[in-house]
Amino acid sequence: MSILSGFMRRPGKLPRVVLCESFDQRVLRGAQALTQHRLAQVVLLGDYDDLDRAAVGNRVQLDGMDVLDYEAAQMQEGIQAQLQELDANGSLDPTDPVVAGAWLVRSGLADAVVAGAATTPTHVMRVFLRLIGPCDGCRTVSGMALVAFDGCEFVRSRAIGMADVSVVPEPTVEQLSDIAIQSAARYERMTGETARVAFLSFSTMGSSEHPAAQKVRDAVELTRSRKPDLAADGEMQIDAALVPSVAGTKSPSSSVAGSANVLVFPSLDAGNTAVKVFQKFSSYRVLGPVLQGMKHPGTYIPRASSAEDILDQVRLLVS
């Protein structure tokens, strides 16, 4: 029997999600939770007997999950044939589980792929961009995290989207606009709420004429011209974006200030640092980040992720 027999996508079934670093104990526990809650049809990569031993050692059962030996001859033939077309310099290893997971999605054998528990985001992004690629017509791939503000007395929205927190180090005006539009659409899909986008800066509504602040203002104008129905404003500081009393003082004429639910950061330094502060030094729950702008769903999990983080990541990825 072919190693891929019975492995084609099944219409109407749960989304089939590949978890690349299948031997990691956090990944195994996350896989079990996803299976138990029927959030995804989990695909683990590796030899079944080896994985079963690892699962038993971590008190995990593989029941209900798919296990695929990505180093078997037939699958390696498929991966290597694809790499010959896309990776002329031979920089990608066909026996790399991240490569195997991305290939499964590209080939239509899985719906989404998650990697990063045991490798760097740079490596994951390089593989994903090469094998999965951006959506047709998409110029920017970005990452958005969701911060749950339930119970916070001074923030109106229960959840705040934050982008870009994982991909573009120094976004241009055009990239900031792309990130805002992507994030607004993703936020609305995930939450069902209308997006209100605040472009963040150290400056609020012209309080500084620094070129960095002007770049953010230019991005706001570009976004408004591209998406006139999208509520977007800036530049503004994060307190003006989220806290009504501060917004009333700093930007009283803004329809977004004080009630923003999507924050666009001016740089990856700012966005990534903010998310880490919320994640590690506050009581608020951070979900993601999830990649945006990819042709097929694929994202990375930070190396410090827990099994619960992996569960949340997949939930966002397939939403």
Question: What's residue 309's pLDDT?
Answer: 87
C-alpha 84/C-alpha 259 separation (Å) is 50
Q: Give tens-digit pLDDT for 165-202.
A: 999 999 999 999 999 999 999 999 988 999 999 999 99
Q: Decide if pLDDT at 3 tops 50.
A: no
Q: Three-state SS string across 14-60, please?
A: CCEEEECCCCCHHHHHHHHHHHHCCCCEEEEECCHHHHHHHHHHCCC
Task: Identify whether the C-beta of residue 219 lies closer than 8 Å to the C-beta of residue 199.
Answer: yes
Task: Identify whether the C-beta of residue 191 lies closer than 8 Å to the C-beta of residue 200.
Answer: no
CATH number at 16-133+295-317: 3.40.50.10950
C-alpha 167/C-alpha 145 separation (Å) is 12
Cα dihedral across residues 279, 284, 287, 292: positive or negative: negative
How confident is the prediction for the chain on average, in pLDDT? 91
Give this prediction's pTM.
0.87
CATH entry 3.60.20.10 includes domain 142-285: no
Q: For residue 69, what are its two tokens? A: 């030996």
C-alpha 126/C-alpha 139 separation (Å) is 16
Task: Identify whether the C-beta of residue 34 lies closer than 8 Å to the C-beta of residue 316.
Answer: no
Helices 48-57 and 25-36, axial angle in degrees (round to 10):
90
Nearest to 182 by CA among 272, 262, 275: 262
Q: Give tens-digit pLDDT for 253-308.
A: 999 999 999 999 999 999 999 999 998 898 888 888 889 999 999 888 888 888 98
Domain layout of the chain by residue ranges? 16-133+295-317, 142-285
Question: What's residue 305's pLDDT?
Answer: 85
Q: Count of CB atoms within 10 A of residue 86's CB? A: 12
Question: What's residue 121's pLDDT?
Answer: 86
Q: For residue 214, what are its two tokens? A: 């002007």
| 132-133-136-141 Cα dihedral, nearest 10 degrees | 120
Q: Decide if pLDDT at 240 tops 60.
A: yes
